[in-house]
Structure 1
């Protein structure tokens, strides 16, 4: 399971606190078929890239700060 960020502050902290890894954030709707496909791909590669990347999901319905 990939971790979700639930508000703008969590998104900011995820980006600002990570100095040694690439931060990947998927913004979209959890119910959207395209996002579901992306989530599946990200989940499959997460273990392989965990040494240099962190992956988060943001549902823009729950966190509307990033809808623009």
Structure 2
């Protein structure tokens, strides 16, 4: 079911997701959709998404498709969750 969390497909969408939220925390999982660690994290994030929707919004970013943040955020681990 993690596929139901929204994916950000490019750097512009990531920037817009962060900049457009004034009242909620933006949670972004950076990693590979196929990675087992990310799959487990995605399941956890999916389970809490509805519970936290009033104060947080959750997105997924595949770092192969959107590599522009890899160096900036030092994304070297298989799965990274960041809060903005």
Q: Pick the TM interval, shorter chain.
A: over 0.9
Find runs of 4+ consecutive structure 1 residues off by over 4 angstroms.
none
Q: For residue 57 of structure 1, report the CA deviation from its aligned partner.
A: 0.2
Map 1:1-68 → 2, pairs under 5 A = 1-68=4-71
Deviations 1:11-67 (A, max 9, x none): 000000000100000000000000000000000000101110000000001001022
Partner-residue secondary structure (3-state), 1:51: coil
Higher fraction of helix = 1
The total of aligned residue pairs comes to 68
Normalising by structure 2, report the TM-score: 0.79
Normalising by structure 1, report the TM-score: 0.97
Higher RCO, Cα 8 Å, sep 6+: 1
RMSD: 0.5
